[in-house]
């Protein structure tokens, strides 16, 4: 999701997310997240793997273009994401376990700090969907925001070390993640976003969403997974901060 939002972060910051209220009748956030972990499948199915490469196609109808995004994840907390966008250039983000960085045509190569670095470190967490209550702390149950889908939902506020929390909502029957609202930090400021998750498919024994619709201001990006490959060798230099040219 980081790479998707980075494509249009400078276009429109939009309005901040609405505050949510926490009625006492809501289920405990950790129970909601535990149900989600069970719904996607046993983590043991993926524990045997050491790396994963995910390829997405991203389209923005309002801007009439499509792009390719490829993300490499390595057990132990490393990530590298590359997005190639016609007319805009190449966007790269990485984390080698120590340093988070970004390189794009707008702001160039830079080391990330604070909330921006948090976003990349979180994206680097191996098998993160099973440990959301560890990555985001504290977590708390909240009522669905007013602009959430009308279906019965259970929502959890996910705090971050820096920056504003996000709200993730799960279908009350299937327990799968369906909606998320938050603010991503960028060089151009805080960027509110709304993401819708759909098209769940089983990949090596685990359910994975294959469709993400991300709305940032007036722009909606459609991201679709076209390939997931496990245990493919990834060069170490992909994840490290590139040298200044």
Question: pLDDT tens digits for 139-152?
Answer: 999 999 999 999 99
Predicted confidence at residue 21, as pLDDT, reads 41
Q: Model confidence at 114, in pLDDT bands (50, 70, 90)? A: very high
The chain-wide mean pLDDT, for the chain, equals 89
Number of domains into which the chain is organized: 1
In a domain, 245, yes or no: no
DSSP structure class, residue 125: -
pLDDT value, residue 46: 95
Q: What are 29's two structure tokens?
A: 């956030």
**For residue 29, pLDDT beyond 90:** yes
Per-residue pLDDT averaged across 28-51, rounded?
97
Q: Would residue 195 count as lying in a domain?
A: yes
In this prediction, residues 9-32 reach a mean pLDDT of 60
Q: Which CATH number is 164's domain given?
A: 2.50.20.10
Strands (E), 61-204: 65-74, 78-85, 89-95, 100-104, 108-111, 139-142, 153-158, 166-171, 177-186, 189-203
The more confidently predicted of residues 172 and 60 is 172
User: In a 3-state reduction of DSSP, which class is residue 238?
Assistant: helix
In-domain check, residue 79: yes
pLDDT (0 to 100) of residue 50: 96
Residue 63 lies inside a defined structural domain of this protein = yes
Q: Which three-class secondary structure state does DSSP give residue 209? A: strand
Q: Which residue has the higher pLDDT, 13 or 118?
A: 118
In a domain, 101, yes or no: yes
- Whether residue 243 lies inside any domain: the answer is no
b/e map 105-125, b = 16+ CB within 10 Å: eeeeeeebeebbbbbbbbbbb
Boundaries of domain holding 10:
2-238
Read off the pLDDT band of 53 (50, 70, 90): very high
- Percent of the chain's residues with pLDDT above 90: 76
Quote the DSSP letter at residue 130.
G
Q: What is the pTM of this model?
A: 0.87
Is there a domain that residue 50 lies in?
Answer: yes
């Amino acid at each position: 999701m980081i790479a998707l939002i980075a494509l249009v972060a400078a276009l429109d910051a939009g309005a901040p997310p609405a505050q949510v209220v926490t009625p006492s009748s809501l289920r405990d956030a950790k129970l909601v997240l535990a149900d989600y972990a069970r719904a996607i499948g046993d983590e043991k199915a993926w524990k045997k793997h050491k790396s994963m490469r995910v390829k997405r196609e991203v389209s923005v109808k309002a801007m009439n273009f499509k792009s390719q995004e490829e993300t490499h994840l390595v057990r132990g907390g490393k990530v590298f994401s590359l997005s190639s966008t016609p007319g805009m250039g190449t966007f790269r983000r990485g984390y080698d376990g120590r340093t988070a960085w970004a390189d794009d045509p707008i702001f160039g190569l830079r080391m990330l700090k604070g909330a921006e670095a948090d976003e990349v470190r979180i994206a680097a967490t191996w098998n993160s969907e099973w440990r959301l209550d560890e990555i985001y702390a504290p977590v708390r149950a909240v009522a669905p925001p007013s602009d959430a889908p009308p279906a019965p939902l259970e929502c959890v506020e996910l705090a971050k070390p820096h920056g504003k929390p996000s709200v993730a909502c799960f279908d009350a029957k299937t327990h799968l993640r369906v909606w998320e609202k938050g603010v991503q930090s960028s060089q151009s400021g805080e960027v509110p976003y709304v993401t819708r998750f759909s098209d769940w498919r089983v990949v090596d024994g685990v359910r994975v969403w294959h469709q993400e619709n991300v709305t940032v201001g007036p722009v909606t990006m459609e991201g679709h997974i076209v390939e997931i490959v496990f245990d493919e060798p990834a060069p170490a230099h992909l994840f490290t901060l590139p040298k200044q040219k």
